[in-house]
A and B are shown apart, each in its own frame.
Chain A
């Protein structure tokens, strides 16, 4: 599946997007936390900091680590305070 970063996550990771294999949101977050130490404190397998949000395919915002992900899903990870 594709993961796309926006806002602070993009700044910390230094990437716009990458491809990751994961069956659940928790598994994905754990992978990201292990691969990108700069995300420490923001992202962990158990979930993410309230200042971070995750959106599935541009539609649904998800937080539950048990959320099931499919191969062709596109997950956006962004700063939660989207406004100005």
Chain B
């Protein structure tokens, strides 16, 4: 077993009440590292593609990584990996903070959960020993309340990841929350809820050794020093919320369900307007020197705001009332639902109302009260909320009458805050993403906001850039390091190899890690293929094809062009015409 690893995972079968340690061969660890990569390898091992995502036999993986527990800044992260109940495809969602460190100290590199508990329970993993406890006292509680109550019950040294009421009610885009952060996309919380688990609590004392501690400490110091510099200033000083005005200025801010790229109310959602002159506070995850969290005052407490929440519950729904967006974000956090999928699905329903396809006249673009009401209905799965809890693709299937053309999703996952017609390298990244449209798995928007491409007219040259950003994301999600660090690296693969050498002692090189990244992307794709993926899924909704963006007539992405880009992507990946 290499340093940095425990060399095993803990496999817990809730149906039979058994926990066992399963060895992880060194070769698997080196090929897939940890986080998303190791999670994908374990899903393949467990035959996850054959199981319905919400069936008892479906595995849910909490994967740690070799860098967790090291002094490297931002390394306290974990990945939750499964088939998505929203997309039916591979899903990995990441979150940060003490759960990752405590989970790894349980003496395992991952926790794999299969089966289903008899009653709503809390899975307690105490130094590697697993048991179920009742969740009666936290059933129906908001994420943060459940977390706090369980900490009081179990002890302050436990770290807890919990679902909210939405996860208990099988809303298909429920999150797993820990310490105010969320493993947010694709319905990881729905899968946990389907196993009758309200939460998982971890505590441990088993530390991993490092191969070259002096070297690792020196690398960590250097990385921390650079993390204070200009490359992370935006996250530290302003937070991602500042993106909203930038995107609006470039006409790439999705507005009213992607009907427009600019929002007349954007200024009211700027950070300066949102905090209304009251002091905004900052926070950070455990073991992070960036401190990107900006907490906006709301009532007698605060709410953490990111660009994606701001766009999805703001401009996408035509809402410029900052207070309403803050309240909506906080309510999503409490219920434990992904703000992007929530906003995307509500915005889709608003357009359906506008077109006369849905008879819910209260659900109008621009109404913050309507967004708040819709969120409550979704969390409770009541009335229209029962349909919207299924996500925009399933809702469109039920509504019919061509509404799938403007359901804002790829593979069933709602599209984040980047207008694909005006950011066409990103459009490709969305179309081919293994978990659907996602900005954390493809950072191709960076290329669009550079002089490398014409963002309104993607060419085959764009494909290599999209692959490069996807590979880099796959490696960061497997090491694991926060993507907000990405700007500090001058030689990302080489520097990553140096960190990994110091932790594991492997003679790993940057070139090897490039191959590793490609292997991990291919493993995700392999799971999708086994789960029934077809090439037709690698596309965008009709809304984005052939029709210019209303607010930017030069931004046109033809169906033929996207198909060429996707085909070239498959070719460069070494996959044949069926994308395998």
B-contacting residues of A (Cβ < 8 Å)?
4, 6-8, 11, 41-42, 49-53, 55, 58, 60-63, 76, 78-84
Q: Which residues does chain A contribute within 8 Å of B231, judged by CB atoms?
A: 50-51, 81
How long is the Cα–Cα vector from A66 to B308 in the complex, in angstroms?
36
Which 4 A-B pairs rank lowest in CB-CB distance, beginning with the nearest? A84-B307, A84-B240, A61-B451, A79-B234
Most buried by A among B240, B246, B418, B487: B246
What is the distance, in angstroms, from B231's C-beta to the closest C-beta of chain A? 5
Closest to A16 in B: B245
User: Is A83 a contact partner of B230 (Cβ separation < 8 A)?
Assistant: no
B224-248: which have CB < 8 Å to A? 230-231, 233-234, 237-238, 240, 242-243, 245-247
Selected from A41, A50, A63, A82, the residue in CB contact (under 8 A) with B449 is A82
Selected from B233, B237, B251, B445, the residue in CB contact (under 8 A) with A83 is B445
User: Is A80 a contact partner of B439 (Cβ separation < 8 A)?
Assistant: no
A-contacting residues of B (Cβ < 8 Å)?
230-231, 233-234, 237-238, 240, 242-243, 245-247, 249-251, 306-308, 416-418, 439, 443, 445-446, 449-451, 486-487
User: Is A58 a contact partner of B233 (Cβ separation < 8 A)?
Assistant: no
User: Is B238 a contact partner of A82 (Cβ separation < 8 A)?
Assistant: no
Q: Which residues does chain B contribute within 8 Å of A11, judged by CB atoms?
A: 237-238
Q: Which residues does chain A contribute within 8 Å of B230, judged by CB atoms?
A: 8, 41-42, 49, 51-52
How long is the Cα–Cα vector from A63 to B450 in the complex, in angstroms?
9
Most buried by B among A4, A52, A82: A82
User: Is A84 a contact partner of B449 (Cβ separation < 8 A)?
Assistant: no
- A sample of 18 more A-B contacts (CB under 8 A), given A6-B246, A8-B233, A61-B451, is A6-B242, A7-B234, A8-B234, A42-B230, A58-B249, A58-B250, A60-B451, A62-B451, A63-B451, A76-B249, A80-B450, A81-B486, A81-B487, A82-B449, A83-B439, A83-B449, A84-B240, A84-B306
What is the distance, in angstroms, from A40's C-beta to the closest C-beta of chain B? 11
Closest to A80 in B: B449
How long is the Cα–Cα vector from A53 to B245 in the complex, in angstroms?
15
What is the distance, in angstroms, from A11's C-beta to the closest C-beta of chain B? 6
User: Is B417 a contact partner of A84 (Cβ separation < 8 A)?
Assistant: yes
What is the distance, in angstroms, from B300's C-beta to the closest C-beta of chain A? 28
How long is the Cα–Cα vector from A8 to B233 in the complex, in angstroms?
7
How long is the Cα–Cα vector from A51 to B238 in the complex, in angstroms?
14
User: Is A58 a contact partner of B245 (Cβ separation < 8 A)?
Assistant: no
User: Is A7 a contact partner of B242 (Cβ separation < 8 A)?
Assistant: yes
Q: Which residues does chain B contribute within 8 Å of A52, judged by CB atoms?
A: 230
Q: Which residues does chain A contribute within 8 Å of B418, judged by CB atoms?
A: 83
User: Is A81 a contact partner of B446 (Cβ separation < 8 A)?
Assistant: yes
User: Is B249 a contact partner of A4 (Cβ separation < 8 A)?
Assistant: yes
Closest to B449 in A: A82
Selected from A8, A49, A60, the residue in CB contact (under 8 A) with B237 is A8
Most buried by B among A49, A58, A80, A83: A83
Closest to B248 in A: A6
Selected from A4, A51, A53, A58, the residue in CB contact (under 8 A) with B450 is A53
How long is the Cα–Cα vector from A58 to B240 in the complex, in angstroms?
21
User: Is A84 a contact partner of B243 (Cβ separation < 8 A)?
Assistant: yes
User: Is B246 a contact partner of A8 (Cβ separation < 8 A)?
Assistant: no
How long is the Cα–Cα vector from A30 to B524 in the complex, in angstroms?
48
Instruction: Offer 15 A-B interface pairs, CB within 8 angstroms, sorted by A.
Output: A7-B238, A8-B233, A8-B237, A42-B230, A50-B487, A51-B230, A51-B234, A61-B451, A62-B451, A79-B246, A82-B246, A83-B439, A83-B443, A84-B417, A84-B439
Closest to B271 in A: A11
User: Is A8 a contact partner of B249 (Cβ separation < 8 A)?
Assistant: no
Q: Which residues does chain A contribute within 8 Å of B233, judged by CB atoms?
A: 8, 51, 79
How long is the Cα–Cα vector from A25 to B307 in the complex, in angstroms?
30
What is the distance, in angstroms, from A10's C-beta to the closest C-beta of chain B? 8
What is the distance, in angstroms, from B562's C-beta to the closest C-beta of chain A? 21
Q: Which residues does chain B contribute within 8 Å of A42, judged by CB atoms?
A: 230
Q: Which residues does chain B contribute within 8 Å of A49, judged by CB atoms?
A: 230
Selected from A62, A76, A78, A82, the residue in CB contact (under 8 A) with B446 is A82
What is the distance, in angstroms, from A55's C-beta to the closest C-beta of chain B? 8
Q: Which residues does chain A contribute within 8 Å of B238, judged by CB atoms?
A: 7-8, 11
How long is the Cα–Cα vector from A80 to B418 in the complex, in angstroms?
15
Closest to A52 in B: B230
Q: Which residues does chain A contribute within 8 Å of B245, judged by CB atoms?
A: 6
Closest to A62 in B: B451
What is the distance, in angstroms, from B390's C-beta to the closest C-beta of chain A? 26
Q: Which residues does chain A contribute within 8 Å of B234, judged by CB atoms?
A: 7-8, 51, 79, 81
Closest to B244 in A: A84
What is the distance, in angstroms, from A46's C-beta to the closest C-beta of chain B? 16
How long is the Cα–Cα vector from A82 to B235 in the complex, in angstroms?
11
How long is the Cα–Cα vector from A49 to B230 in the complex, in angstroms?
8
How long is the Cα–Cα vector from A21 to B449 in the complex, in angstroms?
25
User: Is A82 a contact partner of B487 (Cβ separation < 8 A)?
Assistant: no
Closest to B311 in A: A84
What is the distance, in angstroms, from A77's C-beta to the closest C-beta of chain B? 11
How long is the Cα–Cα vector from A6 to B238 in the complex, in angstroms?
11
What is the distance, in angstroms, from A51's C-beta to the closest C-beta of chain B? 4
What is the distance, in angstroms, from B341's C-beta to the closest C-beta of chain A? 15
Closest to A41 in B: B230
Closest to B450 in A: A61
How long is the Cα–Cα vector from A11 to B272 in the complex, in angstroms?
11
How long is the Cα–Cα vector from A11 to B235 in the complex, in angstroms?
13
How long is the Cα–Cα vector from A76 to B249 in the complex, in angstroms?
9
